[in-house]
Amino acid sequence: MTRRLSLALLLALLAIMAVAWVPGCGSNDGNEFEDRNPDGSLPDGGDPGGGFGDSGGGGGGGNGTDGDFSITPRDQTIDVAIDQEKVTVAPATLKFQGKWRDQDVVASWSLDRGELGVVDNNGVFTPANTFARAMSGVVRVTGRYQRDRLYQASTAVTVRLHITQNGKPADPNGHGVGGVPIGGTVDNATKARLKGTPTNAPDLIGLYPYDGTVWPRGLFAPLLQWQSAHPAKAVYIHLKENGFEYEGFSSGTNLVNQPIWQAIWDKATYGNSGDPKDLLTLEIRIDDGAKTYGTITRSWTIAPGALKGTVYYNSYNTKLADAPTNGNSAGVIAIRPGQNQPVLAFPENKNKCFVCHTVSDDGSTLFAQYGVEGNDSTGRLNYANGRSYDLRNGQRIADYPGDQASNVANNRKFLWSGVYKDGSFALQSSRHTQEFYDGDTHVFRRDNGQPVAASGIDGVITEAVTPAFSPDGKKVAFNQWTGGPGAGNGYSLSMMDFACGAGGGGTGPSCGSLAFSGLTTLYTSPVREDRKGFLGWPAWLPDSTGLVFHNVIKRPDGSDSPLATWKNAEAQISFVGTNKVFNALRNLNGANPNGSERYLPTNDLHKNDERLNYEPTVNPIPSGGYYWVVFTSRRMYGNVAPGNPYEVGNGSAPVPKKLWVAAIDINRTDGKDPSHPAFYLPAQELNAGNLRGYWVVDPCKKNGNSCATGDECCNGFCRQNDQGALVCTDKPQGCAQEYENCEKDSDCCGAGAGYVCINNRCARKVN
């Protein structure tokens, strides 16, 4: 827990620095740092230049003068070496001097990245010089000199970090990623072999993570997994990026996986510049006691942003929910990126098989169904009963009791419904899913479950299956199974415009009137057969310009719903824009739609894992230049969960059915795959089958509460107070920072230089 708190403090510190120095965004002097990009990077991209030990000049010059005022020296590089968590090459200090027309003058000094070091009143910069604090990156040192006006000049210092570790550090393992802990030490002879030229071994195959993955900051470190015919007694893990290098050695018996040390993962991801050219590269070599074999290589992009919000997902055979007498242990589980374990979202629902949930984009409302034993003719559990919760306070809003035998009006009400962005009402999904509402599509209000008049839907669209409102609330997408022109019998996705009339509110719908219009077909499957071609589970991107969806390759065996995910069902995640341009997300799925050129590993049970991806949703907040899709997959998770992809399990062994996450380029191009290879979402219960993740924003904070970024605040802004702490506040003067509220692109710091307004939040677009 200490490590996570330290990371949170680091994030807060980074945010404080951004508030202090980004022009027009909360600094005391409106013209400070006009030579720096809005995100705090150098104008030329801040490439530190050269690998560790090179004499490259580092980071670019920036604005080193201001009229007759300048500072020296310029563009310096400092190297720090650490072995076994101890500094072995002590970082040098740098003395900066202010000059007026080449004469020394007394200046005041500051930094833009306090986590990289400190500068004193005399202009002496000292980089962080302990293992715990050491970070790589580019820091800008600024001198200020008061004469007829305030002059300022700045220069870059590149801090480069080289860390070696032999054997297990003082770092606990167990982040819901599986595997064995970091092993013991490696002798000198084995180390020499591991760092030398390895024997080529085609049978040495990397299983996880995948090459080309885009990683956000703030996650638990991934578990490195491989297979080989040579039993590994030692392993060498080599990570490198601009300004950072790590060499780790560990020993064991028949090693097939090893975690990356969490402290190292944090330093690598937070020290990365965020420039797509600054790749984090990985090398893995193994040694059997006589020879070294290699090399597994990976290259990854680090997105300069942390994931936001909470994922709510269904889990079966979870240890967090006790099993009812006649059913499996199941519940809605909550997990936040950076947490080391999930929690039962609503403890009062133990023993109820509380599942099949949907959530509003603003994070206010969750609808779900729960089973009650004995209320159908067989006495089995069913999901006829509904319930809603206010996620801001964890309080129940309303119950919607149903009777599977007769009460169609309430039976499975709100099941798979499209929830409006504020949660006050939902468009009901009708029939054709595995569990379904058996009436025609209507809009129902949250407070009492009663229908609401909705022109364009009522009496027109009878079966809108798995509907979803766009984040801006102006559109809705669904599978138009029947009813209305263009009905596709399960093989098409449709879209309608939605107008929210004035009025409403109180405990009822926030819209005084509801009007749907402009029915159009977004996409029709080119394959329309009884066993394939069905479309469902659409989920909008945050900018409301397109959506990802579940594209059936093979429907389940038997007569189950074609949109179900079990009994040998196969599906892929696809994309379609509101301009009707379709794109198969090859990188996310793991191969081309026809199954060729797959990069996913295989075994006897997992021969076509690129066809085992289902039910996508999208994080409503962009981060680091990307949208983030969370989806269910039955793919093998390396050698931790390589078993039967359709295994239900009994909670005693890992099963493959898990949540995965993939990045989607914000700055996408029609006809080009905007997705990237996915990563396993850490901290899931390995022995539970998990699915249907909804990523939602967390409850907002009122003014005066601590924060890291503006999306956490009810008023949308997080700034430094008089005591130097970041707190929620009203809209300040000047532009809005990343994650803060906006209405148009020009509201954002850096508008025109890679920052745009997406779903009323400023976001980095360029990646």
What band does 308 get if pLDDT is binned at 50, 70 and 90?
Answer: confident
Burial of 203 (0-12, 13-18, 19+ CB in 10 A): exposed
What are 220's two structure tokens?
């638990």
Q: What's the pLDDT score for residue 30?
A: 26
Write the CA distances from 173 to 256, 260, 347, integer angstroms: 16, 10, 27
Q: What's the pLDDT score for residue 40?
A: 33
The answer to whether residue 27 scores a pLDDT higher than 90 is no
d(CA 482, CA 438): 14
- Helix count and strand count (H, E) for the chain: 4, 49
Which of the two residues, 336 and 325, has the higher pLDDT score?
336
What band does 767 get if pLDDT is binned at 50, 70 and 90?
Answer: low
What are 647's two structure tokens?
């295994």
pLDDT mean over 55-70:
59
Q: What's the pLDDT score for residue 594?
A: 55
pLDDT in tens, 159-170: 999 999 999 886
The answer to whether residue 631 scores a pLDDT higher than 80 is yes
Question: To 5 degrees, how large is the angle CA 138–CA 139–CA 142?
Answer: 145
Q: How far is CA 346 from the centre of its chain?
A: 23
CB atoms within 10 A of CB 695: 27
428 and 414 Cβ atoms separated by less than 8 Å: yes
Q: What's the pLDDT score for residue 3?
A: 36
Percent of the chain with pLDDT over 70: 87
Q: What's the pLDDT score for residue 48?
A: 30
What band does 14 get if pLDDT is binned at 50, 70 and 90?
Answer: very low
The answer to whether residue 298 scores a pLDDT higher than 80 is yes
The answer to whether residue 340 scores a pLDDT higher than 90 is no
Q: What's the pLDDT score for residue 172?
A: 59
Q: Which domains does the chain have, with CATH numbers?
A: 1-32+704-767 (no CATH), 33-162 (2.60.40.60), 167-306 (2.60.40.10)
What are 704's two structure tokens?
């005066």
pLDDT mean over 223-247:
97
The answer to whether residue 405 scores a pLDDT higher than 70 is no
d(CA 579, CA 547): 11
**DSSP code for 555:** P
Which of the two residues, 445 and 377, has the higher pLDDT score?
445
Averaged pLDDT of the chain: 87
Which of the two residues, 549 and 487, has the higher pLDDT score?
549
What are 509's two structure tokens?
């719908």
pLDDT in tens, 709-738: 999 999 999 998 888 789 999 999 999 999
303 and 214 Cβ atoms separated by less than 8 Å: yes
Interaxial angle between packed helices 262-271 and 2-21, expressed in degrees from 0 to 180 and rounded to the nearest 10:
10
CA dihedral 262, 588, 293, 160 (to 10 degrees): -40
309 and 257 Cβ atoms separated by less than 8 Å: no
Report which secondary-structure segment, H or E, holds 189: helix 188-195
What band does 508 get if pLDDT is binned at 50, 70 and 90?
Answer: very high
Q: What's the pLDDT score for residue 593?
A: 52
pLDDT in tens, 585-626: 999 999 865 556 789 999 999 999 999 999 999 999 999 999
